[in-house]
Each structure stands twice: as C-alpha cells, then as structure tokens.
C-alpha cells in the first residue's frame, strides 16, 4: 500500500533553515509528481511546491519562491523541501502528497502523508 512519511519538522527561529523529508513506498515513486502542502493551525490548505516525476521541473507558490527548494531522490524514493529564511507565517503542518496521474503535473493529489509540524518562532 502507498505510504508517505514526513520528517524533519520542529521549532526554528525566524531567518533559520529547515529541511523536510518524505519517504515514499508502495508505488513507483519515479513516475509521479510530488507536492508539499502547508496547513496553518486551524486554517485551510496552501499548496507550497511541486516537482515533476523526473525532477526536471518544479514550481512554487509565491510565498515559497526564492526561499524554498523542492527536490527528490528517485533512487531513495524520497522527497525533500529545503526551507530557508523562515518566517513566522511559514508555521504549519507540512504534508507531502502524491500526484494522481502517472507522469503528469496538473492532477489531483491521491495520497497524503500524516504531516510534520514546523513552528517558526523566536
């Protein structure tokens, strides 16, 4: 069965960096686009970034551009999010999510991890 397990969250001071990981299993990881989605405590869902199945292209929400970097290691079935210059408004639960459609970018997210909490506070 498909499993996505995030790690790397924690408490970090404003301006610092954090790297999130998402270990994937149960599907052919190298065939699917992968996403990061943030949920602010008590609020809705904000898409953060996507990386194409082969890592050749990625796209970011305006809030993440220039500060966050999404990457993947298909040999290790792992997705990453490097978050730099963190701000208090980056606080939230970060989910990794799998794209529904083989080799496609613009598709729904059919599996989600359990999330990892990032708190940016001094």
Cβ-based nearer residue to another protein, 6 or 90: 6
Please state the φ and ψ torsions of residue 53, each to the nearest 5 degrees. Answer: -55, -35
Q: What is the full DSSP assignment across 71-93?
A: EEETTTTEEEEEE-S--GGG-EE
Closest approach, Cβ 93 to another protein, in A, equals: 9
Binding residues (CB under 8 A) for another protein: these are: 35, 44-47, 50, 59, 61-62, 95, 100, 106-110, 112-115
Least separation, in Å, of the C-beta of 43 and another protein? 9
Minimum distance between the CB of residue 44 and another protein, rounded to whole angstroms? 5
Comparing CB distances to another protein, the nearer of 27 and 59 is 59
Q: How far apart are CA 48 and CA 81, in angstroms?
A: 10
Q: What is the rounded CA–CA span in Å between residue 32 and residue 27? A: 9
């Amino acid at each position: 069965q498909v499993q996505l397990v995030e790690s790397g969250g924690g408490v970090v001071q404003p301006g610092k960096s954090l790297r999130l990981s998402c270990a994937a299993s149960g599907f052919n990881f190298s065939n699917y686009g992968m996403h990061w989605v943030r949920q602010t405590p008590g609020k809705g869902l904000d898409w953060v970034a996507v990386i194409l199945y082969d890592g050749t292209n990625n796209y970011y929400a305006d809030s993440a551009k220039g500060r966050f970097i999404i990457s993947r290691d298909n040999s290790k079935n792992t997705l990453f999010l490097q978050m730099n210059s963190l701000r208090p408004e980056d606080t939230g639960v970060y989910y990794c999510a799998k794209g529904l459609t083989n080799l496609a970018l613009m598709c729904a997210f059919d599996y989600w991890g359990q999330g990892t909490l990032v708190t940016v506070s001094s």
